[in-house]
Amino acid sequence: MKYLSLIWSTLFRRKTRTLFTIFSVIAAFLLFGLLDSVRGAFANVGHNVAGASRLITISKQSLVVSLPTSLLMRIQAVPGVSAVTYANWFGGYYQEPKNQLVTEAVPQNYFTLYPEFVLPAAELRSFHDVRTGAIVGQSLAQRFNWKLGDKIPIQATIFPQKGGSNTWMFDIVGIYHVSDPNLKAEENQLYFNWDYFDQATQFGGGTAGWYIERVAQPKQADRVARAIDAISANSDHETKTQSEDAFTAAFVSQFADIGLIVGSIMGAVFFTLILLTGNTMAQAVRERIPELAILKTIGFSNRSVLSLVLAESVLLLAIGGAVGLAIAAVAVSGIRAKLGPQIPMLPVGTQAWLRGVALMIAIGLVVGALPARRGMRLRIVDALSGR
């Protein structure tokens, strides 16, 4: 620590060069912060504490094939299942086709299985009482400026009403929010009464898209899942039950291998960065050979010279990296504020900072290694005489 001022002054000995290098490091870590936030959003889907005790049952054929509602009672009777609900995908859009919505028809007990959706008790009661009632997430409500009591027309894309009309009217009776900032994307759904759907739809009524079960003991989840699937074995509606995490992870992986894309970009970025900062460090040490020789003459050990150079390159990376990640953090929260939390970007949190700092130190050591070795190995006599 006592050498910090020495390291600092050698680092900024050539101000322009160091600043330019720092700008490159900033760019690299800005990119790291942004991409890591995207990767995190996809990796994070479905990973929440409440989800650990939930199972999802879908048709074995595929998610778009619905299941008979008669399964409800039989699943409820499976030992280890403490609650069951179901949902039907509805979809639809508001005003224009580009405003596609995540809309589901759900029975009244749905929200008891989703305690992460925070909803005033009075609003939940009116969901029970109003047939055309709908409960929407706070982010979704803000996006379209919906308030409690609003009547909103939603255009169906799959299910027309019995008269042939595609317009479904809903009364907003509740607005829920999600406290965990990493799960804000869950605030983009609209839920409405399954009974309304069942009575008004031209087709698709009397079925459940998928079932959601809460297991009393998460440890027994596998056994319970097998017992649920056994109910429909060899019937014409065989089911597949898995944990909510596994279900969502499989679903997300169908979009793209986000990890691979982000990984390849970051690989290219950091390879370039290592070369670039390595070149700067090599230049810096080359110019300073006589100075390093003097340090050795006045008693600095080989090891201290090595550490001084390594510390300098780590410091270079740390300054640029910290600034870059800080800019990324500001940018991500700006983007989230502007476009809403449905954008797949997680806030830059402790985890991202830890990964970033680890990268800064690792890259700093890698690019400092060769120049530092050169400094350590120099022979005082040769260096002082400029050979």
Partner 1 sequence: MLMKVLGWLPWILTAAVLLACANGQVRSVAQVGISTLRQRLGAASVVVVGIAGVVGVLVALLAMAQGFQATLQETGSNDTAIVLRSGSQTEINSALDHAATVVIGDEPQVQHDAQGRPIASPELVVVASLPKKGSSTDANVEVRGIGQDAWALRTRVRMVSGRRFTPGLRELIVGARAAKEFEHTELGSKIDLGGQPWTVVGVFDSGDEHDSELWGDADVVASAYRRGDGRNSVTVRLKSPQQLDAFKAALASDPRFKVDASTTLDYYSRQSDLLTRTIRILGTTVAIIMAIGAIFGALNTMYAAVASRTREIATLRAMGFRGGPVVVSVLIETLLLAIAGGVIGAVIAWALFDHYTASTLGANFSQVVFEFRVTPALLAGGLKWALAIGLVGGLFPALRAARMPVTEGLREL
CA dihedral for 168, 169, 174, 177, sign (positive or negative): positive
Q: What is the DSSP letter of 239?
A: E
What is the residue whose two structure tokens read 């499976």?
78
Q: Is 203 in the site for partner 1 (CB under 8 A)?
A: yes
Near partner 1 in 94-113, by CB under 8 A: 97
Q: Is 238 in the site for partner 1 (CB under 8 A)?
A: yes
Phi-psi region of 230 (alpha: psi -120 to 50; beta: other; left: phi over 0): alpha
Report residue 313 as tokens. 């390159």
Task: Say how many CA atoms lie within 13 Å of 52 toward its Cβ.
Answer: 6
Residues 4, 6, 233, 250: which binds partner 1 (CB under 8 A)?
Answer: 250
Q: What is the 3-state secondary structure (H, E, C) of 33-98?
A: HHHHHHHHHHHHCCCCCHHHHEEEEEECCCCCCCEECCHHHHHHCCCCEEEEEEEEECCCECCCCC
Segment contacting partner 1 (CB under 8 A): 20-28, 46-54, 123-131, 220-228?
Answer: 20-28
Q: Is 69 in the site for partner 1 (CB under 8 A)?
A: no
Residues 255, 299, 337, 386: which binds partner 1 (CB under 8 A)?
Answer: 255
Q: Is 166 in the site for partner 1 (CB under 8 A)?
A: yes
Q: Is 45 in the site for partner 1 (CB under 8 A)?
A: no
Q: How far is the CB of 307 from partner 1 (least distance, A)?
A: 24
Please, which residue, 17 or 223, has the CB nearer to partner 1? 17
Q: Is 272 in the site for partner 1 (CB under 8 A)?
A: yes
Q: Is 291 in the site for partner 1 (CB under 8 A)?
A: no
Q: Is 15 in the site for partner 1 (CB under 8 A)?
A: no
Q: How far is the CB of 72 from partner 1 (least distance, A)?
A: 21
Residues 70, 76, 82, 253: which binds partner 1 (CB under 8 A)?
Answer: 253
Q: What are phi and psi of 61, to 5 degrees?
A: -70, -50
Q: How far is the CB of 157 from partner 1 (least distance, A)?
A: 5
Residues 10, 11, 21, 197: which binds partner 1 (CB under 8 A)?
Answer: 21
Distances (CA, A) of 207 to 66, 86, 176, 202, 225: 6, 10, 26, 13, 20
Q: Is 295 in the site for partner 1 (CB under 8 A)?
A: no
* Beta partners for residue 155, in sequence order: 93, 167
Q: How far is the CB of 206 from partner 1 (least distance, A)?
A: 14
Q: Is 333 in the site for partner 1 (CB under 8 A)?
A: no
Q: Is 236 in the site for partner 1 (CB under 8 A)?
A: yes
Q: Is 223 in the site for partner 1 (CB under 8 A)?
A: no
Structural Rg of the chain based on CA atoms: 29
Q: Which stretch of DSSP H or E encloses residue 16?
A: helix 15-44
Rounded Cα distance between 168 and 193, Å, is 12
Rounded Cα distance between 35 and 315, Å, is 23
Q: How far is the CB of 27 from partner 1 (least distance, A)?
A: 3
Q: Is 370 in the site for partner 1 (CB under 8 A)?
A: no
Q: Is 207 in the site for partner 1 (CB under 8 A)?
A: no
**What is the size of the binding site for partner 1 (CB under 8 A)?**
51
Rounded Cα distance between 21 and 274, Å, is 11
Rounded Cα distance between 20 and 18, Å, is 5
Rounded Cα distance between 75 and 69, Å, is 10
Residues 70, 264, 302, 385: which binds partner 1 (CB under 8 A)?
Answer: 264
Please, which residue, 44 or 138, has the CB nearer to partner 1? 44
Q: What is the contact surface with partner 1 in residues (CB under 8 A)? A: 16-17, 20-21, 23-28, 30-31, 34-35, 60-65, 91, 97, 155-158, 160, 164, 166, 203, 236, 238, 250, 253-257, 264-265, 268-269, 271-273, 275-276, 279-280, 282-283
